[in-house]
């Protein structure tokens, strides 16, 4: 889709000229969050004063364990309720809107702990993602002729997507029989069945082998070329550097830095809070890598 690709590139280009600071305004935001607070008892798990997500770009959300990234995703996508704040999607307020409504409007998310539907087959998992199915109406359901054509079209699309995610030969297996990494792939493919406008992926590459990670990165780029905005949480900085147009860094619930991958990785606050001083070193010789790994986790 050349036309979309141009839009995507324009969106990406626009980001390069921004002054990178937390809460910076984007030229064409698809998602805007204001003063979003989610408290668990005394803990402010999320405390985001302002965040805009650029349409058509790939935005990475990074930060230490427990920073509040997943909670932020949960709140925005309607699976959790915020204590304070407002947020809007495509210029419409969606504060505390039910997740199923958001998904139908194109805001689709995946989960850090995969939610594959074990006792449905891989293909049935995919078909659940298709929108506007006549056969999901109780009365039409009884009459197969009313939904079989649509079902065939959906099946065709599902099989194409499964092929892209190396799952086509698994389509008839129960999703519960997939490996952890395959479930991640299935969940991402299933989200794409909805033709999302904005897809929020919570650690889509955790537990996926390196070769497949590379092809996942290609998929994520493809999704962007098709005009979908991607926001994803990831701990692997190589992946983040490779694919993202913009990086948002969270720590202790708040956004502490924003910018292009290169600028964020130079930011002293990000190095202190998340990356650790040795993040640029190759993790080859064992003595050095152990301390680095520890510092990164801390």
Partner 1 sequence: MDFGFILSQSLTQAIGVTAIIYCLAAIGLNIQFGYGGLLNFGQVAFVAVGAYAVGVVVVEVGLSLWLAILIAILAATVLALLLGVPTLRLRADYLAIVTIAASEILRFLAKSFDFLGGSQGITGSIGGDFSDLNPLPDWERFELGPISFTRVDMWLVLAGWLVIAILTVLTFLLMRSPWGRVVKGVREDEDAVRSLGKNTYLFKLQILIIGGVFGSFAGMYSAIAKGAVQPDGFVPDFTFFLYVMLILGGTARVMGPLLGAAIFWFLLVFVEQFLKEGVSSGVITFISTTQIGPVRFILVGVGLMALIVFRPEGILGDRKELMLDAR
Ligand X SMILES: Nc1ncnc2c1ncn2[C@@H]1O[C@H](COP(=O)(O)OP(=O)(O)OP(=O)(O)O)[C@@H](O)[C@H]1O
Tokens read off for 123: 């293909």
**The binder of ligand X chosen from 9, 112, 155, 289 (CB under 6 A):** 112
Strand partners, 249: 62, 257
The least CB distance from residue 85 to ligand X, in Å, is 15
The answer to whether 272 and 296 are in contact (CB under 8 A) is no
Site string for ligand X, 40-59 (x = CB under 6 A): x--x-x--------------
Tokens read off for 98: 């039910």
Binding footprint of partner 1, residue count (CB under 8 A)? 42
Contact flag: residue 109 with ligand X (CB under 6 A) = no
Cα 122 to chain centroid distance, Å, stands at: 21
Which positions ≥6 away from 205 have C-beta within 8 Å?
184, 213, 216, 234, 236, 239
Q: Kindly report the CA angle at 58 between 62 and 248, in degrees rounded to 5?
A: 30
How is residue 171 annotated by DSSP? T
Out of partner 1, Mg ion, ligand X, none, what residue 191 binds, judged by CB under 5 to 8 A for its kind, is partner 1
Contact flag: residue 113 with ligand X (CB under 6 A) = no
The answer to whether 118 and 174 are in contact (CB under 8 A) is yes
The number of beta carbons lying within 10 Å of the beta carbon of residue 279 is: 15
d(CA 61, CA 63): 7
CA distances 217 to 48, 109, 153, 209, 295, Å, are 28, 17, 27, 12, 26
Instruction: Give the helix ranges, DSSP H, for 193-267.
Output: 210-225, 237-243, 261-266
Region binding partner 1 by CB under 8 A among candidate stretches 22-30, 54-62, 190-198, 262-270: 190-198
Region binding ligand X by CB under 6 A among candidate stretches 60-68, 84-92, 117-125, 204-212: 60-68
Out of partner 1, Mg ion, ligand X, none, what residue 68 binds, judged by CB under 5 to 8 A for its kind, is ligand X
Contact flag: residue 257 with ligand X (CB under 6 A) = no
Site string for Mg ion, 44-83 (x = CB under 5 A): --------------------------x-------------
**The binder of partner 1 chosen from 59, 70, 71, 116 (CB under 8 A):** 116
Contact flag: residue 171 with Mg ion (CB under 5 A) = no
Applying CB under 6 A, the residues found at the interface with ligand X are 40, 43, 45, 63, 65-71, 112
Binding site for partner 1 (CB under 8 A): 77, 79, 98-101, 103-104, 108-111, 115-120, 124, 127-129, 131, 133-138, 140-142, 144, 147, 151, 174, 176-177, 190-191, 193-194
Sites of contact with Mg ion (CB under 5 A)? 70, 112
């Amino acid at each position: 889709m050349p036309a979309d690709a141009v839009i995507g590139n324009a969106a990406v280009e626009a980001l390069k000229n921004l002054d990178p600071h937390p809460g910076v305004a984007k030229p064409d935001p698809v998602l805007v969050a204001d003063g979003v607070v989610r408290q668990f008892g005394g803990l402010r798990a999320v405390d985001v004063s302002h965040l805009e997500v650029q349409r058509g770009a790939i935005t990475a959300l990074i930060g230490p364990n427990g920073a509040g990234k997943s909670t932020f995703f949960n709140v925005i996508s309607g699976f959790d309720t915020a204590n304070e704040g407002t947020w809007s999607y495509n210029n419409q307020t969606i504060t505390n809107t039910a997740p199923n409504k958001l998904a139908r409007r194109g805001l689709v998310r995946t989960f850090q702990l995969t939610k594959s539907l074990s006792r449905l087959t891989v293909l049935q998992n995919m078909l659940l993602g298709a929108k506007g199915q006549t056969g999901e109406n109780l009365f039409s359901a009884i009459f197969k002729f009313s939904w079989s054509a649509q079902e065939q079209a959906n099946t065709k699309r599902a099989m194409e997507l499964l092929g892209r995610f190396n799952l086509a030969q698994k389509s008839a297996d129960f999703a519960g029989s997939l490996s952890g990494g395959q479930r991640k792939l299935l969940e991402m493919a299933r989200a794409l069945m909805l033709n999302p406008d904005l897809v929020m992926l919570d650690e889509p590459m955790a537990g996926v082998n390196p070769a497949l990670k590379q092809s996942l990165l290609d998929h994520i780029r493809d999704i962007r070329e098709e005009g979908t905005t991607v926001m994803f949480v990831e701990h692997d900085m190589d992946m983040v550097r490779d694919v993202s147009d913009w990086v948002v860094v969270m720590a202790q619930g708040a956004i502490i830095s924003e910018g292009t991958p290169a600028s964020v990785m130079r930011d002293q606050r990000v190095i202190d809070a998340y990356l650790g001083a040795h993040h640029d070193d190759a993790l080859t010789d064992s003595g050095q890598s152990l301390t680095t790994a520890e510092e990164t986790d801390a």
